[in-house]
Structure 1
Amino acid sequence: MELSHLIQDIQKIILQSRERAVRSVNTERVLMYWQIGKRIFEEEQNGKDRAEYGLYLIKNLSEKLSEDFGNGFSSRNLELMRLFFRTFPIAQTLSTQLSWSHYSLLLSIDSQDKREFYIAEIKKNNWSVRELERQLNSQFYERLLLSTDKETLLAIARKERIPENPSEIIKDPMVLEFLGLKRESSYYEKDLESAIITHLHDFLLELGNGFAFVARQKRIHLDGDDFYIDLVFYNRLLSCFVLIEIKTQKLTHQDLGQLQMYVNYYDREEKLPSEKPTLGILLCADKNNSMVKYALPENNRTIFASSYQLYLPSEKQLLEELKKEFEKRSEL
């Protein structure tokens, strides 16, 4: 038994040491590329015809550095290093939590606010490069902008502000392309639920910050009748339970009524006095906004309808939705 503990301790030491070594290598690589970009930029500023001289400089540098140090110094990569310095001109602002691959993806973003948002989310959630790429492709920032303003979004991402309104973290639509279900396929609600459980890690990332899985098909027994809540989560930022009901058909007012019953039950039977009111989300394929608006009380703060997409939205789609939302806000 003692030997087993010793082996586990040493394994932990080795793994932690390897992780620190990898982080150290990544940090040095990022700083090296930043310094290379800085020198290229400074040299370009001394050129008489900057555009022409810049092309000449990059081309010749690439040939020589590739000859001396191998791959990694193509003209494209050197241009990326130059852009890296220009985008992040202060070395002290670079984060040791971000690898060069993270920064390479972030350089494709032309908005400083949007870039800062993703950097904050990477640090807070320890996103891998693959996870960052997925969030960029799913227009994560733009979808959250549909429900809140830019300043609030950045403040929450930087942990400068705790979400107060559920709409600040609940996305509509939710993009579930990772489930692998085809748009044209016929499937039941239980199929979608099973796919979510299979890809629970990805679904939690899509839900957003602070969510933890609690139960699937949670049974409620009321006077001889059994009811089952599809999915139950808890959000530690909002300090409340979040119940999700899945609807693959068009949303009806009966669906909203059923979810309201589940929310009422949790508030009266499960919620602690110190916790905030339970939230309910109807995750539906087809949402009738007008029906949702008039089926729920005017001061509703606990029931939400969010449509889901089984494919990545196009930038054009999101921009159109953002435009509609901003026009709606300006009218208020």
Structure 2
Amino acid sequence: MELKKELIEQILSIVTISREKAIRSVDTQRVLMYWEIGKIIFEEEQKGKERASYGEFLIKSLAESLEPQLGSSFSYRQLNLFRQFYRIFPIVNALRSQFNWTHYRTLIRIDNNDKRAFYIAEVEKNNWTARQLERQVNSQLFERLLLSNDVKSVLAVAREEKNPVEAKEIIKDPMVLEFLGLQRENSYYEKDLENAIITHIQDFILELGNGFAFVARQKRIHLDGDDFFIDMVFYNRLLQCFVIIEIKTSKLTHQDIGQLQMYVNYYDRFEKQSFENPSIGILLCTDKNDAVVKISLPENNSNIIASKYQLYLPTEEQLINEVKKEIEKLDNKIF
């Protein structure tokens, strides 16, 4: 007698869900255990606060006693991390059940309160895995958003206290595409880059930002006997508009901007519905001349964005230099 396929699938589903709950339960208990240990260490340290070296002595002594019995999870470095964990997150009821210890370990190492608050809000909203959080921190997501926004605005969007109204509030410049696996010293064609993006579409959407959904690639449009092909089309539910992406593996030209403007106009006139907002165009390029971009577009433009991409994670120094450039641009406008 043959068993019903549906019955087997139901049982497998129950087993999978139960295992996932068991893993989450273990993670939750581990987080609480580390928090409680951190609390004990912190409170004991405060008792000896008149001695500046007492904290270091305390943790070293504990590590010497605990590590031989409990293993490397209770080394000096780990115990110090537990203490930091409690110091940064002192209210146990405020701990998020969806965060595992690896989430918190990444958050603890962020020394800026606004920056940490941003990533906490993004993890909660987007249900990022610990690996996704680590990647976003390493790619300097917060700093890249600050290149075109202020801290208050970035935090408000992350916490869903306001909906983004402009593309610059969620679209980064530069975009970091290290997950594509393309080497920057190798030559490649636009089609190679597009194929790599499609292969890693989930990672690319994560890099694009909140609310993006993939619609089409090489979208054909027909204009009075001529055919044109748009590299990629997305939709953003937060901005409620289509997002057209054109890929360039060279420095941006004014012809590229004109072509993208035509595609955006097409979507606004033939695809956009009355309740939707004007379409956005993104030119993904290796380099750009901001003056050319500015002169090629109307003064009130907010829908065509040129964003550089890089195939490697940026360093903090690189981001600081980018911020300085933006500040200089603002100063030049003022004076």
TM-score interval w.r.t. the shorter chain? over 0.9
- String of CA shifts for 1:183-222, please: whole Å, max 9, x gaps: 1211111111111111111111110101111111001111
Alpha-carbon distance, 1:136 to partner: 1.1
Paired residues, what number? 332
Alpha-carbon distance, 1:51 to partner: 3.6
Deviates more, 1:319-328 or 1:83-92: 319-328
Alpha-carbon distance, 1:2 to partner: 8.5
In the alignment, the residues of structure 1 paired with residue 132 and residue 154 of structure 2 have an alpha-carbon distance, to the nearest angstrom, of 19
Could you tell me which amino acid in structure 1 is paired with residue 214 of structure 2? F
Counterpart in 2 of 1:30? 31
Tell me: CA distance 1:317–1:87, structure 2 relative to 1, closer, same or farther (3 Å). Answer: same
Could you tell me which amino acid in structure 1 is paired with residue 301 of structure 2? N
Counterpart in 2 of 1:201? 202
Deviates more, 1:154-163 or 1:320-329: 320-329
SS of 1:249 mapped into structure 2: coil
Tell me: CA distance 1:311–1:48, structure 2 relative to 1, closer, same or farther (3 Å). Answer: closer
RMSD of Structure 2 on Structure 1 (CA): 1.6
Alignment of 1:276-291 (within 5 A): 276-291=277-292
SS of 2:38 mapped into structure 1: helix
- String of CA shifts for 1:101-135, please: whole Å, max 9, x gaps: 11111111110000010111111111112211111
Alignment of 1:92-131 (within 5 A): 92-131=93-132
In the alignment, the residues of structure 1 paired with residue 51 and residue 82 of structure 2 have an alpha-carbon distance, to the nearest angstrom, of 17
TM score, norm. by length of structure 2: 0.95
Q: Which runs of 5+ in 2 are unaligned?
A: none
Tell me: CA distance 1:94–1:326, structure 2 relative to 1, closer, same or farther (3 Å). Answer: farther
In the alignment, the residues of structure 1 paired with residue 146 and residue 49 of structure 2 have an alpha-carbon distance, to the nearest angstrom, of 44
Counterpart in 2 of 1:324? 325
Alignment of 1:132-151 (within 5 A): 132-151=133-152
Alpha-carbon distance, 1:56 to partner: 2.7
- String of CA shifts for 1:69-109, please: whole Å, max 9, x gaps: 33411111000001111111121221111111111111111
- Determine whether 1:161 maps to 2:170: no
SS of 1:292 mapped into structure 2: helix
Could you tell me which amino acid in structure 1 is paired with residue 71 of structure 2? G
In the alignment, the residues of structure 2 paired with residue 202 and residue 72 of structure 1 have an alpha-carbon distance, to the nearest angstrom, of 31
In the alignment, the residues of structure 2 paired with residue 172 and residue 301 of structure 1 have an alpha-carbon distance, to the nearest angstrom, of 14
Alpha-carbon distance, 1:49 to partner: 5.5
Counterpart in 2 of 1:55? 56
| Identity rate, percent | 66
Contact 1:240 1:275 in 2 (8 A): yes
In the alignment, the residues of structure 2 paired with residue 25 and residue 326 of structure 1 have an alpha-carbon distance, to the nearest angstrom, of 47
Alpha-carbon distance, 1:65 to partner: 2.2
Q: Which runs of 5+ in 1 are unaligned?
A: none
Alpha-carbon distance, 1:162 to partner: 0.8
In the alignment, the residues of structure 1 paired with residue 317 and residue 72 of structure 2 have an alpha-carbon distance, to the nearest angstrom, of 37
Alignment of 1:1-332 (within 5 A): 3-47=4-48, 50-329=51-330, 332=334
